[in-house]
Structures are given as structure tokens and as C-alpha cells.
Amino acid sequence: MSPRISSGLAWSVWALSAALAILSVPLYWSTTPSAVLVGIPQIVAVLTLAALVLAFSTVGALIVARRPGNRIGWVLCLAGFTIGATTLASGDATFSLAGPSRLPGTELAAWLAYWIWVPGVGPTMTFGLLLFPDGRLPSNRWRVVSWLTVVALATLAFGSAFTPGPLSDYPEVTNPLGLAPLEGSVLEDGGVGWVLLPASVVISV
């Protein structure tokens, strides 16, 4: 991929990420403007997430534009996009569940918000450190850690996305894509991924 195409794609991701974050704000504001989340007003938390989306996406796009071979730029672009997607999907689900009747796609929005952050935020905490500062692993020996990270992210995302039953963040919603074999397995609700990902982060640090 040429530097010009890479730069254009990165800035397109930036624009999409910013749009996702901005569109989520009125959904939260019109639904629960005074609600409290983790001890702070929910709207403040949403605005903070929107700022994070812009920060990750902007830095990522600048790195891709100026240093096309540095993969950290794409890691940050992916983080910005998935945080934006999570915020909008969560806002849509919250808005719909607060109303007198559910809007079409509420279950899918809640489902997406529940797990989509994993493939974006997870690499930032792991590959963002492993590849710093030039976008390459320190040596081939670190490939083991990179594969551990991939397994951690895959198991956490897959287990969270497809465990049957109510979604813990949205107990009114039953997972529309739940797979019965995951219930009671090591992948249930992320399962072993919740152990492997923190281990990957610590090793990456």
C-alpha cells in the first residue's frame, strides 16, 4: 500500500471514528443526562470517551501519514474506531431501553457494545507497548508474547460475544448470538481471556 493510500485510509478512519463518538453524545444526553457512571456524571464519561477517540485517532493518523511503516499508527487508529463504535452502540442501546418500546436492532447494538472494545483497546495495551517506538518487536524472541496476546484477545472477544444468556452490562437483553456450547466452558463470558490479557499487558510492559 502506497503512503498516499495509507494516509488517506487512516484519515478516513479518523473521520468515521469522530462521527461515531459525536453521534453518541446526544443519545446519552437525551436519555440520562444526570445519570452517574462509576461515580461521575454519565455525560461527562461519554465526553471523556469522545475525547479519547479523537486523541487515539488523531495520533494514529498522524503516525500513519508521517511514518507509514510504523504499525503503532494503525493500532491507535483501531483503538479510536472501536472506542467510538462501543460508545455509539452503547448509547443506542441505552436510548432504546429507556424508551417505552425497543427500537429495531437494540439487541445487536447492546451485543456489539459488550465486546467490540476488545480488539481495539486490547492491542493498544499490548502491541502498542511491544512495538514502541519504531513499530517492530524488540527481537524475534518476543513473537511468543505477540502470539499470547493474539490468543488472549481472541478468547476474550469470542467468549464475550457468544456466551448465551443476558448481557451483564444490559441485563434486559439476551445475547442474540449466544452459542450454547460456551456455557460453562473456559471461554464463558471471556473466561480464560480475562487471565491471559492482563498477563500479556504485564509482559508487554
Over residues 186-190, the mean pLDDT reads 93
pLDDT at 31 over 70: no
Do 27 and 95 contact (CB within 8 A), yes or no? Answer: yes
Grid cell digits, residue 60: 494514529
Q: Is the pTM of this model over 0.75?
A: yes
CA angle 168, 189, 123 (to 5 degrees): 105
* Calpha distance 30→171 (Å, rounded): 21
pLDDT at 103 over 90: no
* Calpha distance 49→35 (Å, rounded): 16
What number of other Cβ atoms are within 10 A of residue 148's Cβ?
17
- The pLDDT mean for the chain works out to 89
Residue 29's Cβ-count burial label (10 Å; 0-12, 13-18, 19+) is middle
Q: Which pLDDT score, from 0 to 100, does residue 144 have?
A: 94
For 13-28, write each residue's pLDDT tens digit.
Answer: 999 999 998 888 888 7
Do 119 and 152 contact (CB within 8 A), yes or no? Answer: no
The two counts, helices (H) then strands (E), for the chain are 8, 4
For 88-102, write each residue's pLDDT tens digit.
Answer: 998 888 888 877 778
Q: Which pLDDT score, from 0 to 100, does residue 34 have?
A: 46
Do 148 and 202 contact (CB within 8 A), yes or no? Answer: no
Do 87 and 100 contact (CB within 8 A), yes or no? Answer: no
Place of cell 471471556: 190
pLDDT at 83 over 50: yes
Q: Which pLDDT score, from 0 to 100, does residue 113 have?
A: 92
